Chains A and B, each alone.
Chain A
Amino acid sequence: MPQRRRTLINIIAGSWVVLAAAGDIALNSLPLPPGSATDISGSETQLIRILAMMAWPIFLAVIAGLVFTLYVNRVAPAAGDPDAQSLRGNSRVQTTWIAASTTIVLGLAIFGTITLANDTTIPTVAQAEPNTPLEVQVIAQQWYFTYRYPSFGGFESAHLVIPADREIEFHVTSLDVTHSFWFFAAGVKADAVPVHDNAVDMQPLNIGTYRIECSELCGLWHGSMSDDKAQIVSATDFDTWAQQQQQLDAPILKFLPPYSHTYVPAPGAYGS
């Protein structure tokens, strides 16, 4: 019996080591979502990777523990025996467990706070001139997003276009109900709330075409409130595009409300 037991323990412990290591190696090398199109999506990916690499061995350990107790450590029923052992608790094991889980939790919280502080989504005061972030306003309404570029006369665009080399400062607001601006590849998610300016900072890294969708239930066509044509382009392409748009939009610019971080929606937006 002890021999078989030891073998089983070795098998379980060995499988745990192998599976945990294999999983973590895989997690470490796999391209996890949301990717690295921007600085924040990169750090989110990294964080999700670290959390997954912690969660996987813990998950396996608990499962191994369950298998161990249920299968290996099972006491075979024998006639006439008293029912089972009378273990009622072990304060040392309990204290260790609570201390260990508290440590993990504290560590996670501190780690998360540091990550949060590093790529803070709250825009800092404008830095020196060349680094001034490009302000892009995201205006949500049922059921589409409009983008406004205040540094180019406040023209509006139906698709998001941003340059790759500059810090971007999104200012998200809404004209009717609560929406949420989700730029998945950029790792940006910000609720669009009427008469509220929700600002998010980020630095695009990879040129490409991406998807933007609404992630807060906003009524009938919530599911269709998405756009597959959001672009991160090179700086020169962006300047060309922006100047072109500004000229095209010039005739209608004067009919748009003056640029502001929030707009007061017409009362009619709420029906009833």
Chain B
Amino acid sequence: MVDAVAVSNPPAAPRQLSRTLHQWGLLLGVIGAVLGFLLGYFLGGLGFDDTNSNGSNIQILLAYSLSAVGFLAGMGFFNRLIGSLVGQRPPTLADEAYLHGEGAGLSRYFRLTVDHKVIGMQYVVMILFFLFAGGLGAMLIRGELLSPQPSYVTAESYLTLVGLHSVIMIFMASAAIIGPLGNYFVPIMIGARNMAFPRLEALTFWLLPPAGLILLSSVFLGGFPTGWTGYAPLADQAVLGMDAYLVAFGLIGLSIMLSGLNMITTVITMRAPGLRFTKLPMFVWGVFITSWLGLLAAPVLASVILMEVFDRTFHATLFVPAGGGTPYLWENLFWFFGHPEVYIFIIPAFGLIMEMLPVFTRRPLWGYRVAVGGMLGVGVLSFFVWQHHLFVSGIAPALRPFYMFSTEAISVPTGIIFLVALGTLWRARTRFTVPMLFVGAFLFNFLIGGLTGVFLSDVPADFSLHASYFVQAHFHYTIMGGEVFALVGGLTYYLPKMTGRQLNARAGRRQFWVMFIAFNSTFLCLLAVGMLGMTRRVISYQPELQGLNIAASISAFVLGASMLFWLGMIVWSLILRPALATQKNPWESLGIEWQIPTPVPTYNFDTVPVTWSLPYEYDTGQPAAIPGRTQPALAGGTPT
């Protein structure tokens, strides 16, 4: 773990009640959650008219919602509000330093801490936990699909398994890169000492553990039968596990929205003087554009979830045709959120890939402006394609050509990303380090993901491929093959900065090849079974497709093992690898994040640099900025 910057005289002992409480953050949070749950359960049992409402739903919903509120209250998120009501003095700078976790060792990871680097590390742990929890679900699903008839999983548990795997992975993927790397590095890359709203940032993280636990607890309530798409009216008739899905997804949506708000504000208002938008690193651009998508799309999810809650709890009929509602309402609103959501996964990965490319090719990024334009184009277009999920739904056939065109049009800005990558590699002195291998794999996998997407965007072809394993393999190519490969590469690249330990390169190379080959052999098989007519989310399938399914399952097990090995490598590096020297820049990167000491001091910069250039000037060797100096850096100086 990161050692705190040693502070000779830690801030004075806490005098305020809130500070004492902060120390017990996580414990109080858990107590608050339990109390909230009991209170909600009790309140939900009171005084609701039975003819108009559904008692047990209300109890579960209130219990979950209040347990989340109780958890946040216990963690101390309302201390300042309550403090101002009871007339406490405003927080002093020492209080702020305490909140930043200064001088507190490991304990700062287990309480409300507003240091963006601590939050980034918290995200790393949580993302890995849910990545592997979702991965376990994937292994169980692939194990079941070894046989064309139900074997060791009942049909009911299979649906729960599919639902949990999908929502956990969606939940993980929507924060996988922005959460750990965005929170950790965006303020550093823009020369800021912290985020614009540090407490809000902490909130975006601490909303997620309750969301994840509520989601997992749906197992005890009968699970939910709808997958991550939650289609009504199936959701209307589902058991109580559905309420867990609704509350958890609501919390996730809130977290995505608030994270977007915080990131946008940070990038706009907190940039160092002299750092213009035209000098922003690609990764910051990726996070910035993604944040807009999250900010504007997630509220739609919140309102549609509210509608479903209303349907299930108070016998409303918004999605029930006999009562005047329509399933298309859910499908439209859900996908209006859902499609930008999938670009929330991938745009930070674009940014991360293009951030790493120049480092390993020792070249300036080829076409910075078109690359930014490409990401912007993907972001804007993502709001205009949602109906391609409804091509076979039977509504608005007249609109199909438009959505076919807008969907295919996304391949133009995506193509630009490939052009920039190829251009940057052109006549480069490429260093085939482990992160670079993952960059290459990202391009390969995402190319397949993109090309299969063209098949699906074409309406007549979609009539055959829609809702089949072809779709499943397509989005796994983009999310797993794209985002998760970028995440693994990105963590390999950035862990030396975050933990001060480097992963073993030889083991990493072997792990990469196993992961890359196993991934492709899994999902190429699944592309094939999809074309041959296997439906998604089924427990039994055509016996003649068993061969391909077995091949996919075995590859998937190898893939899972390679991921576990990677996790082992991280743990190994933390326990057994020596810490890097403070100033070590193992990839010889020119990015500002590598010019400051490791571990990064609490407030990042002693003096904020004012002279900035793009961090890709490998031809001149000029770093993005030189911290601790307010004078322009001399050109030609190489970083050490």
A, B co-complexed:
yes
Q: Which of B237, B366, B440, B532 contacts A33, CB < 8 Å?
A: B532
User: What string of 1s and 0s marks CB contacts (under 8 Å) between B293-321 and chain A?
Assistant: 00000000000000000001001000011
In contact, B400 and A220 (Cβ under 8 angstroms): no
Q: Which of B150, B440, B458, B542 contacts A70, CB < 8 Å?
A: B440
A79 to chain B, nearest CB (A): 12
Report B-chain residues with C-beta under 8 Å of the C-beta of A264.
Answer: 321-322
Given the known A-B contacts A66-B444, A69-B425, A178-B231, are A270 and B430 also in contact in the complex, defined by CB atoms under 8 Å? Answer: no
Q: Which of A59, A115, A116, A187 contacts B451, CB < 8 Å?
A: A59
Q: Which of A109, A188, A270 contacts B401, CB < 8 Å?
A: A109
The segment from A7-15, A192-200, A235-243, A248-256 that touches chain B is A192-200
Chain A contributes a number of interface residues (CB within 8 A of B) equal to: 93
In contact, B322 and A87 (Cβ under 8 angstroms): no
Q: Cα distance A94–B361 when bound, in Å?
A: 20
In contact, A270 and B237 (Cβ under 8 angstroms): yes
In contact, B363 and A51 (Cβ under 8 angstroms): no
Report A-chain residues with C-beta under 8 Å of the C-beta of B633.
Answer: none
Q: Cα distance A62–B418 when bound, in Å?
A: 9
Report B-chain residues with C-beta under 8 Å of the C-beta of A119.
Answer: 460
In contact, B225 and A188 (Cβ under 8 angstroms): no
In contact, A116 and B401 (Cβ under 8 angstroms): yes
Report B-chain residues with C-beta under 8 Å of the C-beta of A84.
Answer: 361-363, 427-429, 618-619
In contact, A102 and B422 (Cβ under 8 angstroms): no
In contact, B429 and A220 (Cβ under 8 angstroms): no
Chain A, residue nearest B159 (CB): A220
Q: Which of A108, A223, A270 contacts B320, CB < 8 Å?
A: A270
Interface residues of A in 61-119 (CB under 8 A from B): 62-63, 65-66, 69-70, 73-77, 82-90, 93-94, 97-98, 101-102, 105-106, 108-109, 112-113, 115-116, 119
In contact, A34 and B533 (Cβ under 8 angstroms): yes
Q: Which of A189, A197, A219 contacts B467, CB < 8 Å?
A: A189
Report A-chain residues with C-beta under 8 Å of the C-beta of B156.
Answer: 220
Given the known A-B contacts A116-B400, A265-B321, A269-B237, are A89 and B464 also in contact in the complex, defined by CB atoms under 8 Å? Answer: no
B575 to chain A, nearest CB (A): 34
Interface residues of A in 163-220 (CB under 8 A from B): 172, 176-178, 180, 182, 184, 187-191, 193-198, 211, 213-220
Q: Cα distance A116–B444 when bound, in Å?
A: 31
Chain B, residue nearest A72 (CB): B427
Report B-chain residues with C-beta under 8 Å of the C-beta of A157.
Answer: none
Q: Cα distance A224–B539 when bound, in Å?
A: 8
Q: Cα distance A132–B506 when bound, in Å?
A: 70
User: What string of 1s and 0s marks CB contacts (under 8 Å) between A38-49 and chain B?
Assistant: 001101110110
A159 close to chain B: CB less than 8 A? no
Report B-chain residues with C-beta under 8 Å of the C-beta of A74.
Answer: 427-430
In contact, B464 and A180 (Cβ under 8 angstroms): no
Closest 9 CB pairs of A and B: A198-B394, A195-B321, A86-B619, A223-B538, A271-B237, A89-B367, A223-B539, A69-B425, A184-B533
**Could you list 11 examples of A-B contacts with CB < 8 Å?**
A69-B427, A83-B363, A87-B427, A90-B366, A94-B419, A116-B400, A121-B463, A188-B463, A189-B467, A215-B468, A224-B155
Known: A47-B460, A220-B155; 6 extra A-B contacts, CB below 8 A, are A73-B426, A90-B366, A93-B423, A122-B397, A198-B394, A222-B538
